[in-house]
Structure 1
Amino acid sequence: MKKTLPLFPLNLVVFPNEKLNLHIFEPRYRQLIGECLEQESNFGIPAFINNKIESYGTEMKIVALNQVYEDGRMDIETQGVHIFKLLNFDNPFEDKLYAGGEVEIVDLLDDTSEDIFKELVQSLKRLYELLQLNLDLNFRSYQFISFEMAHKVGLSVEQEYELLTIPSESDRQLYLLSHLKRAIPIIYDMERTKERVRMNGHFRHFDPLNF
């Protein structure tokens, strides 16, 4: 499905169902959000990475208008709806201050594999154990669990964008699993090194060796 959206490029990746709080201060985006509120319409966040507008982004809906300041600035709550592919980018859009363009909504394939999912969860738990962090596995939705996990595994913004472009849920889970399998041994070695550094200079007890 194709549609036209006002566009709000940001140097981040937003996933479907993800909640995002925004402070709106630039005049062009005050106009954009004001019109979306008035028309009860959505806007798009195309990823802006390495000084370039990327081809994929996320359609956003405004969940709440939390505060309007005297100078027109706003605090809003938004939530990701759909992934889109950007077909054209017009800046400015028609007679507006902001950019806009035609997008095509991406169809997502829900082909979750139970085996891959279980291995992914175990690897995620292992990562957080090594980092000595608490892991919140209270996910909002299990339909596309990779999106729920995406910000929890230490991906770069470039890697998060790559994940956004993968239409298959099982392929996204495999992508996250591959990342964890690379990261966990590195973090394990780092933690062992930190422990050796902590021990250096302290009295240590060694059992006698029997030859």
Structure 2
Amino acid sequence: MNFIPIFPLDVVVYPGEPLNLHIFEPRYKQLINECMRERKAFGIPVVLDKDQGVREYGTSIEILELVKEYENGEMDVRTRGLNVFRILEVVKEIPDKLFSGAIVSYPQNFMASGDSNLANHVFSEVKRLYALLSLSEKFPEQKKPMVSYEIAHQVGLTKEQEYELLSIFTEIQRLEYLRRHLDNMTKVVQELEKVKERIQLNGHFKNLSLGDIDL
């Protein structure tokens, strides 16, 4: 168990993912200054609905660079996701602090898939989806080995689905989750393409015939 300061946001950050933040609220300016001074991480727990508060899982974040500090104390910082954590208890009030914290545990997270065929299949499906959407120029570069976290934000997941992926702790299960999603997405896009083709045919002269038919 560990205690970390927390910065709740309506984003899902994955391990290894870069994240640029503009810090303007006094409590988070204090949080960032403390973390930089003490060279420690903070946590971004996921908020999908403000009425429901923070979700169970989030990601610890390391500060890489203070890019700019403004006269009013606001900051631009480069950060990167480290590890997925599970919140055991939120500590809303900390003496002499404006920000909150949480007691967290770090579930064991298996990053290697052990199944290169599945990883390659998922990447091929992403490529096919981008081609169907005419977005090939934005196609992500394949890395060896590919990790699910590297493409999770690029395949049209909803915020809820991104959070579900965050709460899966084996790479092979994450890849399988993405494979099923991509399969569904591809089917939807293909159907939309058929609809577009039918719409484009409206108003055109057509050669229509059923051939010989016994009436």
Q: Please report the TM-score for the alignment, with normalisation by the length of structure 1.
A: 0.91
Cα distance in 2 for partners of 1:208, 1:49 equals: 54
Tell me the SS of whatever aligns to 1:48. Answer: coil
User: 1:38 maps to what in 2?
Assistant: 37
Which one of 176, 179, 183 corresponds to residue 177 of structure 1?
A: 179
**For 1:38-117, what aligned pairs fall within 5 Å after superposition?**
38-51=37-50, 52-109=53-110, 110-117=112-119
Cα distance in 1 for partners of 2:58, 2:143 equals: 21
**For 1:1-211, what aligned pairs fall within 5 Å after superposition?**
2-51=1-50, 52-109=53-110, 110-134=112-136, 135-139=138-142, 142=145, 145-201=147-203, 203-204=204-205, 206=207, 211=212
Cα distance in 2 for partners of 1:162, 1:94 equals: 34
Task: Structure 2: state its 5+ residue gaps.
Answer: none
Tell me the SS of whatever aligns to 1:142. Answer: coil
CA root-mean-square deviation? 1.8
Distance 1:141 1:114, change over 3 A: closer
Cα distance in 1 for partners of 2:198, 2:209 equals: 20
Distance 1:140 1:59, change over 3 A: farther
Cα distance in 1 for partners of 2:143, 2:42 equals: 23
Q: Please report the TM-score for the alignment, with normalisation by the length of structure 2.
A: 0.90
CA contact (8 A) 1:150 1:160 kept: yes
Q: What one-letter code is carried by the residue in structure 2 that aligns with 1:93? A: I
Q: Deviations over 1:38-75 (max 9, x none)?
A: 11111000001122211110000011111111111111
Q: What one-letter code is carried by the residue in structure 2 that aligns with 1:155? A: L
Aligned residues: 208
